[in-house]
Structure 1
Amino acid sequence: MSLKYVPYSLELKEPFGTAHGTRTHTDGMVVAIESDGLTGYGEVFMPPYYSENQESMALYFDSVDVSKLLRTESLADRLAYVRSLGPRDYGAKAALDIALHDLDGKRIEEPVATRYSTDERRTSYSTSFTIGVDTVSTMVRKAREAKGFKSLKIKLDGKQDIRVIEAIKEVTDQELLVDANQGWSDLDEALETAHRLIDLGVGLIEQPFKQGEHEKVGALAARCAVPVVADEDIQTIEDIDRLAAFYDGINVKLMKAGGIKPAVKMISRAREKGLKVLIGCMTESSIGISAAAQVAHLADWLDLDGNLLIKNDTCTAVQTVDGYLVLSEAPGIGITDDSNLIRIFN
């Protein structure tokens, strides 16, 4: 068995803006675990406002003792070892978690989805398309271009929120979800904005206030007719226990959670607490999106479009057709063409 990792930068088709700022690319790593003629692929891509970078990722991967992974064919044991390596490094752990799931699925010749579903497996799921903060005219143009999707997630920054949604509603009747990315500050202003957005048809509000401003969130959620969902406030299963009283739902991302297995555990805990679940993504390639799609059946909403926003995808896997994620029948996470990955590692 061998572990390889390669630095990689995902180049965005257009600048992508949030309340955190605007970026043109996202740096990360692509990983490959080879064993008995099979290769499992994973990746980690984190935005700059998280603490992980390519240097920290490399340090984490270098700490892995591959011989300990080789001692067992048990996926659970291998994943437990990955999680034991340090208290954080969630993105790097997610890369190995995904690669090990992919490898195991290829070994048993089954899609990863079958491991987490006892029902007949669906192969297509509706996903939203994300529109980043930009000029109003640019955001309207992007909404027009995304007509094939049933829902749009609109990034807001607290500066022109109502104007943006009013303008987008003039050109589409798609369901709108909004994500403030911690961009709201004053509670009274947030309530006024939220009520106007709901009047315009917005069906979900994500991470309105800064991390830790839970009392504000609770006050907002109590007076909103749509779910208020946590993103930056939630990373681990322990966060769910602390914050369930304030939010209506959580955004689970493999890169935040540490991979597929921790994400599934978080979803289960969220359900126990009566919370709704959105499965989202960072800027990711088809590796990460296809991995998350394996547990799409566990979510109320999907926002798995990161691979559609980039111009240098790593591979061919899950496809998006008329706003639906269409999973392949290929084993593992569903990669159907890894020729570009082979070039990346060579």
Structure 2
Amino acid sequence: MRRFLTVRHDAFPLRAPFRIARGVKTAADVVTVTIRQGDAQGWGEGVPYPRYGETIDGAIAAIEAVRALIEHGATRADIAGAMPAGAARNAVDCALWDLEARLAGTSVATLAGIPPVAALASAITIGIDTPQAMAQVARGVARVPLLKIKVDREGAADQIAAVRAVAPTPRLIVDPNESWRVGDIADRLPMLLAQRVDLLEQPVPAGEDEGLADLAGAIPICADEALHTRADLDRLAGRYSHVNVKLDKTGGLTEAWALATEARARGFGVMMGCMVCSSLGIAPAMLVAGGADFVDLDGPLWLATDRPGGVRDDGGILSPPQPGFWGTPACA
């Protein structure tokens, strides 16, 4: 039976500006894909990221280029061979997973042999601001299990100290988004250890990370921009202790699960992350997050209004979407 593809740009205004070292966002711009076959319809979402040379228009064009392939029954393996890893393929891959599960009358978890999604501790992110403003945000979430602080190069020590002073108990991820250099880590290592930083996420530019090997074991360091697919793991060994798996980098749930599995087998710790997105981007990521050491899936919490039926947060504990939202039967 023939399928029918729909692809569109959706924009979700944020409840507050999201500031990181390389810029600020005021809306989550996503590409939404739906694939219909008979009475069943699957959907998926991708977030094109300028850091990787992606745009909304480019992602839509990439999906349109494989329209005939999709509508004439392409499998997820076919799509992996026809599209490069990235946000466009993520949207298609996740829509195909959802469609396949609905046609089979089961869940994506059952179909993939992945443990069912359960509530899990997920980071609450504090964007870059003055130390005083960041501390004010941190006071409101001081009892969550895991905090993530976005920092820049110049003000990082004060930003981290301000948050830690009012939130002494959560595990702590610090994310400079490639704004530091290797020497900055060495200089700030006593401060990072004193502030009990659990994970330092992509502190240096992805192409300038050779020197991280000299810091191996000093503090856990996670690859984000430096990691996309399994093909990157060889280069990261000895430089990073952890890897941040994101569906928009891997090109969907299929490669994300394979990447997380191989990374663990090779001795890397795993972080499951996301872009600023709606719950449609988080539902498939939660399947991979069950085995992660760190989970950072609070993208939808930044939206002024999420998609109906999406994920729910209660004090840093993220619950999956309502049955029928993505990947589960409506009666689950």
In 2, Cα distance between equivalents of 1:42 and 1:210: 30
Q: Is the 8 A contact 1:69 1:81 kept in 2?
A: no
| Mean Cα deviation higher: 199-208 or 209-218 | 209-218
In 1, Cα distance between equivalents of 2:40 and 2:190: 53
In 2, Cα distance between equivalents of 1:204 and 1:214: 16
Q: Could you tell me which amino acid in structure 2 is paired with residue 100 of structure 1? A: L
Q: Could you tell me which amino acid in structure 2 is paired with residue 212 of structure 1? A: G
| Superposition deviation, residue 125 in structure 1 | 1.0
Asked whether 1:85 is paired with 2:79, we answer no
Asked whether 1:255 is paired with 2:257, we answer no
Q: Which residue of 2 aligns with 1:344?
A: none
Match of 2:96 among 80, 96, 100: 100
Q: Is the 8 A contact 2:5 2:70 kept in 1?
A: no
Distance 1:137 1:246, change over 3 A: same
Q: Which residue of 2 aligns with 1:327?
A: 320
Q: Could you tell me which amino acid in structure 2 is paired with residue 184 of structure 1? A: W
SS in 1 for 2:157: helix
| Mean Cα deviation higher: 40-49 or 197-206 | 40-49
Q: Which residue of 2 aligns with 1:203?
A: 198
| Mean Cα deviation higher: 165-174 or 62-71 | 62-71
Pairing 1:1-346 to 2, within 5 Å after superposition: 1-66=3-68, 70-71=72-73, 78-86=75-83, 88=84, 90-117=86-113, 121=116, 123-173=118-168, 174-185=170-181, 187-222=182-217, 224=218, 226-328=219-321, 330=323, 332-334=326-328
Q: Is the 8 A contact 2:85 2:250 kept in 1?
A: no
Q: Is the 8 A contact 1:123 1:328 kept in 2?
A: no
| Mean Cα deviation higher: 320-329 or 235-244 | 320-329
Q: Is the 8 A contact 1:94 1:257 kept in 2?
A: yes
- If the length of structure 2 is used for normalisation, what is the TM-score? 0.92
In 2, Cα distance between equivalents of 1:212 and 1:279: 22
In 2, Cα distance between equivalents of 1:219 and 1:275: 17
Q: Could you tell me which amino acid in structure 2 is paired with residue 319 of structure 1? A: R
Task: Identify unmatched segments of 5+ residues in structure 2.
Answer: none
| Superposition deviation, residue 22 in structure 1 | 1.6
Distance 1:219 1:101, change over 3 A: same
State the aligned residue count: 327
In 2, Cα distance between equivalents of 1:65 and 1:168: 48
Task: Identify unmatched segments of 5+ residues in structure 1.
Answer: 72-76, 337-346
Distance 1:126 1:103, change over 3 A: same
- 1:148-183 superposed Cα distances (whole Å, 9 cap, x missing partner): 521101011111111111111221122211111111
In 1, Cα distance between equivalents of 2:32 and 2:201: 29
In 1, Cα distance between equivalents of 2:225 and 2:238: 16
| Mean Cα deviation higher: 316-325 or 61-70 | 61-70
Q: Is the 8 A contact 1:290 1:334 kept in 2?
A: no
SS in 2 for 1:49: helix
Q: Is the 8 A contact 2:14 2:303 kept in 1?
A: yes
- If the length of structure 1 is used for normalisation, what is the TM-score? 0.88
In 2, Cα distance between equivalents of 1:335 and 1:154: 36
SS in 2 for 1:247: coil
Q: Is the 8 A contact 1:20 1:49 kept in 2?
A: no
SS in 2 for 1:143: helix
Q: Is the 8 A contact 2:118 2:319 kept in 1?
A: yes
SS in 2 for 1:250: strand
In 1, Cα distance between equivalents of 2:209 and 2:138: 32
Q: Could you tell me which amino acid in structure 1 is paired with residue 327 of structure 2? A: I
Q: Is the 8 A contact 1:327 1:334 kept in 2?
A: no
In 2, Cα distance between equivalents of 1:122 and 1:17: 30
| Superposition deviation, residue 78 in structure 1 | 0.9
Q: Is the 8 A contact 2:85 2:249 kept in 1?
A: no
Identity of aligned residues (%): 32
Q: Is the 8 A contact 2:107 2:329 kept in 1?
A: no
In 1, Cα distance between equivalents of 2:295 and 2:272: 5
RMSD: 2.1
SS in 2 for 1:170: helix
Q: Which residue of 2 aligns with 1:340?
A: none
